[in-house]
Amino acid sequence: MRKKSVKRKPPVTRRTKKKASFFSGKVLRFTISSCFIVLFLGLGYHYRNGLAYYFSFKSSKVLQQEAEDKRISDVRNYQVLDKHEGKAIGLDVSEYQGKISWMDVDTLENKYPVHFVFIRATVGSDRLDKQFDDNWLGAKKNKLIRGAYHYYRPNENSIEQAELFIKTVTLRKGDLPPVLDIEKLPENQSVERLKVGLKRWLKKVEEHYKVKPIIYTGERYYDDFLKEEFSDYLFWIANYNFYRENIEEDWLFWQFTEKASVSGIKGNVDVNIYNGDLQQLRFITIE
């Protein structure tokens, strides 16, 4: 008898899930990052005393430099003011000085009496200084001779700028003439067109207030662009350089520093010298 051959089933091979390798993708990156963090913290702890010394030293250096700069500014302020003894001293302020305690504004560097203040009223053709109303009234209550100025934007319509100033500022008897502040050159027009705009602003403001405005600018700007063509106007000139020790004869006002301390005002403030005494200053105010 033949034996039946039995077909054997092939052995079943079971697939086993491969375990994630320790050095695969995310695990590897996590491990390396962790090592760097641990190393960084370890080094920081090890050199903690040296790092603390380094940073405190650097901070101390910055503070020392700031103190030295302030000391130098103070020395110059005293020197300039002492050289102009008898002349009227004043400030100019804007919203950048924040809330001013006008009842406390009386002396500069706790020594020199403050006689007058120029207050920014408007900027360009559409912006009012946020503190103008408070400053305008506060200066009057504190019996300071006050004046208002407009910051001129060369690339905006000059008549609109003049109209904004006129709408904002009401000048009274005893106030200083209006001031045009020009500091920048135009971007999209020539210097000649800029001068035309300045003349239009000046003319419109003069027609309204019946008094000739004063022009504020930097000394270089004055020499390069305004001195000849605007010679029939009086100028308020800014120059903070150490070589400048005296006011020029043809300057009505000189802004000689932007780093002075005044009671009632937080932080630094600009200081100006009038080219005359207090009685002469009153003579140029609006009647």
- pLDDT for 193: 95
Q: Is 237 helix (H, G, I), strand (E, B) or coil?
A: strand
Q: Let me know whether 148 and 257 are in one domain.
A: yes
Burial class (CB in 10 A: 0-12, 13-18, 19+), 106: middle
Q: Let me know whether 257 and 126 are in one domain.
A: yes
Q: Let me know whether 255 and 120 are in one domain.
A: yes
pLDDT digits (tens, 9 = 90+) for 127-137: 999 999 999 99
Q: Let me know whether 183 and 268 are in one domain.
A: yes
Evaluate whether 252 touches 236 at the Cβ level (below 8 Å). yes
152 part of a folded domain: yes
- pLDDT for 34: 73
- The bridge status of strand 145-151 relative to strand 127-128 is unpaired
pLDDT digits (tens, 9 = 90+) for 82-116: 999 999 999 999 999 999 999 999 998 788 999 99
38 part of a folded domain: yes
Q: What is the CATH number of the domain that holds 102?
A: 3.20.20.80
- Name the one residue in this structure whose structure tokens are 């009632």: 264
Helix axis angle, 191-209 to 158-168, nearest 10°:
30
Domain count, the chain: 2
Q: Which domain holds residue 62?
A: 25-83
Q: Let me know whether 164 and 147 are in one domain.
A: yes
Q: Let me know whether 39 and 141 are in one domain.
A: no
